[in-house]
Structure 1
Amino acid sequence: MDKSWIQCNRLSTEYEEGVQKFINFAIKNAAGSSVIRCPCVDCGNLSFETPTTVKDHLYMHGFDVKYDNWFWHGEEIRKSSSPQRENHFQQQNIEFDNGNELEMVNDAYKGCCGDPKAFKELLEQAEKPLYLGCTKFTKLSFLVKLFNVKGRFGWSDSGVSALLSVLADAFPKNNEIPTSMYEAKKTMSALGLEYVKIHACPNDCILYRKEYEGLLECPTCGLCRWKKKDGTVDQYRKGVPAKTLWYFPPIPRFKRVFQSSETARDLTWHANERMVDGKLRHPADSPSWKLVDEKWPIFASDPRNLRLALSADGINPHSSLSSTYSCWPIILITYNLPPWLCMKRKFMMLSLLIYGPQQPGLDIDVYLQPLIEDLQTLWDVGVEAYDAYKNEYFNLRAVLLWTINDFPAYGNLAGCTVKGYYACPYCGVETPKCRLKHSGKNVYIGHRLWLPHGHKFRFQAKAFDNSVCDETPPKLLNGEEIFQLVDSIDNRWGKSNIKSVKVRTIMISRGGRRNLYFII
């Protein structure tokens, strides 16, 4: 297609005819979408506009002369989109296939309002050879593969920096290999997603956000927000928080997955390609999924709306049983995908990272606040997202169906008792319990009451606790009864206010015994 009109005067007839031909070409390849990318100098193909707005921009700002391969408007991707580079590469008998990198850059900024200059620089990295004469790698493709290997084998940043330094010396001169991990991250930063570091009270009372954002000390326990140089908590100076929560907002990541046409198609697999034969083949066959479809048909009408599970557990990041350091990752899992993709690592989204000397315990609700707010937005209102498979915008919503955790974490997340005399989540206050005389441990040996009447185990007294079980199991509560119980609970975020009460503990040793006194 003739592109000589781009260099013409914007008031000339040639430029006017060229703009109209470009608009017609872009609309023809938009596959029914009402918006197209604007290739003007200011937008640089980084914003989606209506054809009328694009035409106005091209007259006001001019067409970006560097954009000579219209691959974002329907043309096939050439080996290089820069004429000077292409002529130079042809002289060196170089052939590039950097379509994957260009597609990756394309996906990185769809619907994103980032810095246009940063994305232009990233596009240049996708076209630049790793070194003069290299036909296999561009700078961006090399870094992408290096980051994949780093994540797969758990390489440290310092180790990768040392490797990059050696490679930069080993490869031909004037190569594009960064000499440190810092420089590599700067190049890859435009492909990444945002995260937020939120300061937290060392006692897990509050997060310093919203109404608490400007405070210097916790309004609940009075502890200072900042650290001293020796690591103890005190009002030493600003800039070193005593505790930090890493939050990875899920909404931009959910929008990102729909910007890949292949992934966007997979996210509707449960509705379009799943075999429905009465067998449990996918979470969509479960009663929980069907209950959501039945109670909220508007939500279920769009198969792109996400069904999520939240997984939480504590780990020791240092692999040392003697260390008390705790790390709690909170992961969101999307079940719209086919069974062979649901549990792939790339579709498990880390949303929260809670770490510190002690685990959050029952105060984990304090750290879940930002995630719950985003999930509430996705359920009540939804967000606008772009579906690359159907080439259209839609309102994306999500629902949290399940949580995945062990029994202690279940107690933290659900607020249920998981130890003591009422540890059974089914029996509740009617839990059959027995405290062993010598070990002082609680045991639960009343499980026979859940067996059918007349079962032989009910009459084997000697094998159990020397008694015959003739009891009936407690009544299971239905959903309405559970909701009534939950509504009657005084549920508030975080801990109660104890700032007005000053508590000092004194340890006194008397005759080999230690007594603990609380002085108020």
Structure 2
Amino acid sequence: MDKSWINKPRLSQDYILGVKNFLDFAFGKLKVYVLKCPCNRCCLLKLKSREDIDGDLMCYGFLSSYTNWVLHGEDICVTGNTRVPSDIASVELDSTRTLLDDLFPDISTNNDGGYEAGSSENPMDTDRPSTASGSCEKGEGFDELLADYNQELYTGCTKFTKLSFILKLYHIKCMCGISDKGISMVLDLLKEAFTHAKLPDSFSDMKKVIRKLGLSYESIHACPNDCMLFWEADAKREICKVCEASRWKENISVKSTESGSENKKSKTPVKVLRYFPLKPRLQRLFMSSKTATHMKWHATSSNNDGKLRHPRDGRAWKEFDKKYPEFASDPRNVRLGLATDGFNPFGTMSSSYSIWPVILFPYNFPPWMAMKQTSMILSMVIPGKHMPGNDIDVYLQPLIKELKELWSDGIKTLDASTKQTFDMRAAIMWTVSDFPGLGNLSGWNTYTNLACPSCNFEGNGERLRHGKKNCFMGHRRFLPQEHVYRHDKNNFDGKIEARSPPATLSGSTVIHQLEQVNVTLGKNHGLVGVGRKRDRSGASGSGTSSTTQQWKKRSIFFELSYWEFIMLRHNLDVMHIEKNVFDNLVYTFLDDKKKSKDNLSARKDLRELGIRADLWPDDNEKYKAACFTLNNDGKDNFLSVLKNVKLPDGYASNLSSCVDVKSRKLSGLKSHDCHVIMRDLLPVAIKNLLPTDVTSAVVELCQFFRDISVKVLDTDELDKLQDRIVLTLCHMEMLFPPSFFTVMVHLVVHLTEEAKLGGPVPFRWMYPIERALGHFKSYVRNRAKPEGSICEQYLADECVTFCSMYLNDIETRFNRYGRVDDRPLAQTSIRPNSELPFIFPNLGRFVGAGQVYTLNHVERQQAHRHILVNCQLLDPLREKYKSELWSKPSQQSKRSRANDIDREMHLNFAKWIKQKVEVNELDGITDDLRCLALGPSEKVVKYTAYNVNGFKFRTIERDADLKTQNSGVYVAAETMSYASSRDPNPITGTVAYYGNLVEVIELNYYEVFKVVLFKCKWADTRTERGYKMDAYDHHMVNFSRLLHTGDNAEDEPYILASQAKMVYYVADPCKEEWNYAVHIQPRDVYDMGDQNDSEQFDDALCLYEDVQDDAAAALSDPYFGITFFLLVCPCNLVFYPPVTNGKTPEEEASAETEASVEAQEEVAAATEV
């Protein structure tokens, strides 16, 4: 029986006929209803019906190794052509060799490919640094490591050595969170099953091997009252030199029954600081060939358009370089950010236990690496159970000591990219923390009416008598001096505002203010000569008394000689600021009894201040609702928007679970949920529910947080943004009571200035830090000793994470893809040299099984036409066809004829080019053009899901059963539009189209190339009945008014999948047919501007080598996350009005007569000229 068809293209006639004959033979001979499916996916493992096997063979192809069809009625016959599938894995180069090369650069390779200790011939060896591997010096441990590397896992094993197998097994443990007990049981099972393998005797032995590749940490005892550390000169002290508390826990004496003597347990310290030395960890970043080049990215990459994409683009970084040119001259010197925050390791609100890790992150890395968990360095774990508070400086001493050494002397380090040693230096650029943490790190008191650190002693906080809180108003001082609001007493606080904005605070000013501050750290000690009671006087001067009350200490960071000259020392955290502003807004709208800022106390404070008499309570303490308070119907509409909205997969949590419509309450919202609501949903939810002035102020505030949080900032736009936010806060002062303006609301006014100094907010907010803290919380296995559990697990995780950069044949944190796996599948072609796969690049990946589908004539015509319109190779032929149409005689006017010719080209160009190619009437037709002209197969594979451009697209039918929405499609297309059937001058321009995904099809041009198309239902964005923008510039679409039905030949329902961007729709609570279209950005895509220099991307994962550099909007290293190409794909659409234009045939005929007369007049005029 002929079997040559099984390797032919699936849509070829030979393959289709072969499948039919195969099924006829198998089911005819065996007389059964189901057989094993021989497709490439089932591999003879599943029983299926004839129809299912037919579909699978058309979709996935025939298993090429199955040539003796013994399972389908053929006799057993072993021939030379029969190929037996082999399960033997190919031998791969052991990647641990490169790992050892980088960790131990001064060892040489022996003749057998193994390793042996030796000396390098490099004359620089006298200056070479010691290895950065903590405990692994040249000695017994080093020799054991080499012995494990050179030992086969078992006799004859070429894929694994004992070391590489242990490394990968431990990597699986850390990646999957397997407990020590679980991996011990796995190890016992492996030993029992494979007695000949050289496996470690126990999990403890395996951990010892891993430790030789890793680093270590130091345990430093601390005073129970956080007064001091027992280290260096005080290492042997038994009691605290400040409070005289013992460093040890009380020992319980146990009397021996035999000798009558007392046995004491070993001494146990009360508090232990776990410190992870910084120097060897920074050395590793340069000693590794995987990261050494990236540590110089900040200096080697260019920023051509001057926008802020990285901290190196901010003014603080640039001024630091000017101040210290010697430090800036070597790009390998490290710039660090420091972050800290506390968390409860037990995850229960009933427990008040608080652990404070300190995390460092190197800003030398490019944007797609800098804030990843794999780049962060855990510096120390400050023990609980109480937070360190103002005494955090006690625990920062070891880090500050190392930082001073790294700044002044540096440390000899090997640069793996150049194979040279250099003196590596490092500096802290700033700190990142929440607002209370900022007070702990800086020493500024954040709980008084001078809480704003940026305003310093020029702050304008005021203590509210009845609310018993500090309020921070007076934002008119940030307006220009001539602004009308400065003289408006009635709508503000009853005063004229003549003050200037607070002066920028310099480091020298801070040092001057700290001259009179003398603090003894420790829980039992406070400011000298000053009680610990909070200042209630409202003093705002800069004298000695108020200074010592406002400054709680002199920050330990000022021991760094450069700290005084850093322009941005402590960052305001946008994450927590936005969360607090959201809470103030939403709970005030909902009039929440516990969280609303508008209550009886707030109304009494209005009366106390003598402003807004219409809101004062009466004698019975009753007061009317304010303009910003929603009534019950408004609350229901507001909450219904949040309850019913469907967000894209992974965009936020399930908001509907946080909404209780019945009790009209919100609960359980995370910070990121508030970020999404504030940015996208709040402006929609409150529209038409509140007065215009309230809505406008809130929408402007939401827009501010949206603009300030983007990955790329424009300094000119930041200036405009600052002007807008000052006006917004002034408008809100006219509407909301003083109690609304907590310090977190006031801090909003300083965010734009910090963005100019430090660069984009995502490098300076707490989201990545909070994720890291959540990861640390998962380390806690021993609840009795949470700090030790965290440190031990982090040490193992740190080692495995570093080593996993060298493991290419296993999934690691560096090579795994994120939530959206849009890696392109291999493009198969019977003509490998075809250019068409690069004209229509294969971007994206199908999700789920496909279904073979036959296109009808109209669908095939529409899909094929869209391919031809978007293929620039056909431009000369389009001009040729257009010339032929113009050369034909016609009685129409020139104006009417242009319209008809364009319509003719749109509808019949595919037919014309096919006829010309079939009769060989065109010269220079390549095989690619011939393939395009003949058109695709009518057999396509249809899917319901497709990942592309960093988005998960799902058909609207599939979305219906899910709680997420991934069917919204947006495309901006060059469109030729006619106003009417007689319009002689079509307008060509970029038009935005909004639609819903209906189908995903893979169009197949007979295996020469394949193209994935999206079929969508498009809203009519050409008219106001289908698309409009509201007063706040929000996009609104109406899907009851479609652009076309997609059933007619001239309709354009298809687009290339690579052209699609995602939007999601939020139903308008007041207009049922209208939806708000919200644009979203994919994760891990970075706009690096006009990037022409590709040197920085030498190690990048290039999906298509022939793609131009300027076609890529972002590239990343294959070891450090996801790479997305944002290709500029042409998208051309032509939409014509209906031929009749809504007229009767008589009216149309009359219009043609008028057009003919006009044409004659035009000809006459032209003749006269």
TM superposition score normalised by structure 1: 0.70
Q: Which residue of 1 aligns with 2:444?
A: 416
- 1:316 maps to what in 2? 344
Partners of 1:105 and 1:122 within 8 A in 2: no
Query: CA 1:339/1:441 → structure 2, altered by over 3 Å: closer, same or farther?
Result: same
Q: Deviations over 1:144-166 (max 9, x none)?
A: 23333333344433333333334
Residues 297-334 of structure 1 deviation map (CA, whole Å, 9 limit, x = unaligned): 11111111111111111111222222111111111111
Aligned to 1:219: 241
CA distance in 2, matches of 1:456, 1:323: 53
In the alignment, structure 2 segments of 5+ residues that lack a partner are: 1-87, 106-129, 253-263, 527-1169
In 2: Cα distance, 1:246 partner to 1:154 partner: 22
Which residue identity does 1:165 align to in structure 2?
D
1:268–1:303 contact (8 Å) kept in structure 2 = yes
In 1, Cα distance between equivalents of 2:397 and 2:455: 30
Aligned to 2:360: 332
Residue 330 of structure 1 aligns to a residue in which SS? Answer: strand
Distance of aligned partners of 1:378 and 1:162 in 2 relative to their CA distance in 1, 3 Å threshold: same
Alpha-carbon distance, 1:339 to partner: 1.5
1:239 CA drift (Å) = 3.2
2:312 is matched with 284
Q: Which residue does 2:96 correspond to in 1?
A: 101
**Superposition deviation, residue 181 in structure 1:** 3.2
Residue 168 of structure 2, aligned match among 145, 167, 191: 145
String of CA shifts for 1:72-119, please: whole Å, max 9, x gaps.
xxxxxxxxxxxxxxxxxxxxx998545411221232334327143212
Change (3 A) 1:469 1:94: closer
SS at match of 2:379: strand
Distance in 2 between residues matched to 1:135 and 1:462, nearest whole Å? 85
Deviations 1:225-245 (A, max 9, x none): 111367xxxxx7653111100
Out of 368, 391, 394, the residue aligned to residue 366 of structure 1 is 394
Matched-pair contact (CA < 8 Å) for 2:153–2:199: yes
Match of 2:180 in 1: 157
Alpha-carbon contact 2:225-2:523 (below 8 Å) kept: no
Alignment map for 1:364-513 (pairs within 5 Å): 364-455=392-483, 458=486, 465=493, 469-487=497-515, 489-490=517-518
Question: Partner residue of 1:43?
Answer: none
Whole-Å separation in 2 of the counterparts to 1:321 and 1:130: 48
Helix, strand or coil for the counterpart of 2:191? helix
| RMSD value, Cα | 2.9
Change in Cα spacing, 1:432 to 1:258, as seen in structure 2 (3 Å) is same
Counterpart residue type for residue 139 of structure 1: K
Shift of 1:178: 3.4
- Aligned pair in 2 of structure 1 residues 211, 369: CA closer, same or farther (>3 Å)? same
**Structure 2 vs 1, CA of residues 276 and 146 (structure 1 numbering), >3 Å: closer, same or farther?**
farther
Change (3 A) 1:221 1:132: same
Once the two structures are superposed, residues 314-357 of structure 1 have per-residue CA deviations (whole angstroms, 9 ceiling, x without a partner) of 11122222211111111111111122111222221111111211
- Would you say the 8 A contact 1:326–1:358 is kept in 2? yes
Asked whether the equivalents of residues 424 and 431 of structure 1 are also in contact (C-alpha less than 8 Å), the reply is yes
Cα distance in structure 1, aligned partners of 2:458 and 2:329: 42
Who is 2:855 aligned against?
Answer: none
Q: SS in structure 2 opposite 1:225? A: coil
SS at match of 1:326: coil
**Cα contact 1:309–1:334 (8 A) shared by 2:** yes
Query: Partners of 1:451 and 1:146 in 2: how far apart?
Result: 62
Structure of larger gyration radius? 2
3-state SS of 2:293 partner: helix
Q: CA deviation at 1:265?
A: 1.5
The equivalent of 2:296 in structure 1 is 268
Corresponding residue of 2:191? 168
| C-alpha distance in structure 2 between counterparts of 1:388 and 1:472, whole Å | 53
1:100 alignment partner AA: S
Alpha-carbon distance in structure 1 between the residues aligned to 2:474 and 2:183: 57
Q: Paired residue for 2:146? A: 123
Could you tell me which runs of 5 or more consecutive residues in structure 1 were left unpaired when the two chains were aligned: 1-92, 231-235, 499-520
Structure 1 CA distance, aligned partners of 2:469 and 2:222? Answer: 36
Look up the match of 1:197: 219
Please say if residues 316 and 327 of structure 1, whose CA atoms lie closer than 8 Å, have aligned partners that are also in contact: yes
CA spacing shift, 1:457–1:154, aligned 2, 3 Å: farther
1:182 matched to which residue of 2?
204
Q: Which residue of 2 aligns with 1:239?
A: 267
Q: State the alpha-carbon separation in 2 of the partners of residues 203 and 472 from structure 1.
A: 44
| Residues 463, 114 of structure 1: alpha-carbon distance in 2 compared, 3 angstrom cutoff | farther
Residues 247-295 of structure 1, C-alpha deviation per residue, up to 9 Å, x if partnerless?
0101011112211223212111222233344222222222122112211
Indicate how the Cα distance of structure 1 residues 215 and 497 shifts in structure 2: closer, same or farther if over 3 A, else same. farther
**Aligned-partner Cα distance in 2 for 1:488–1:296:** 29
Amino acid in structure 1 at the alignment position of 2:164: S
Question: Cα gap change, 1:164/1:463 in structure 2, threshold over 3 Å: closer, same or farther?
Answer: farther
Residue 125 (structure 1) shift: 2.2
Contact 1:228 1:237 (C-alpha < 8 Å) held by counterparts? no
Amino acid across the alignment from 1:101: T
Bigger mean CA offset, 144-153 vs 185-194? 144-153
Change (3 A) 1:244 1:476: same
Q: What's the counterpart of residue 34 of structure 1?
A: none
Count of residue pairs brought into register by the alignment: 401
Q: Distance in 1 between matches of 2:152 and 2:89?
A: 10
Which residue number in structure 2 is paired with residue 228 of structure 1?
250
| Matched position secondary structure for 1:315 | coil
Residues 146 and 187 (structure 1), Cα distance of their counterparts in 2 relative to 1, 3 Å cut: same
Tell me the amino acid that sits aligned with residue 179 of structure 2: S
Q: Output the CA distance in 2 between the equivalents of 1:237 and 1:466.
A: 70
Tell me which residue corresponds to 2:228.
206
Question: CA distance change for structure 1 residues 399 and 487 in 2, over 3 Å: closer, same or farther?
Answer: farther
CA distance in 1, matches of 2:174, 2:167: 11
In 1, Cα distance between the equivalents of 2:405 and 2:92?
41
Structure 1 distance, partners of 2:292, 2:442, is 33
Q: Shift of the alpha carbon at 1:486?
A: 4.0
CA distance in 2, matches of 1:447, 1:114: 61
CA distance in 2, matches of 1:425, 1:497: 24
Alignment partner of 2:422: what SS? strand
Asked if 1 retains the 8 angstrom alpha-carbon contact of 2:239 and 2:245, the reply is yes
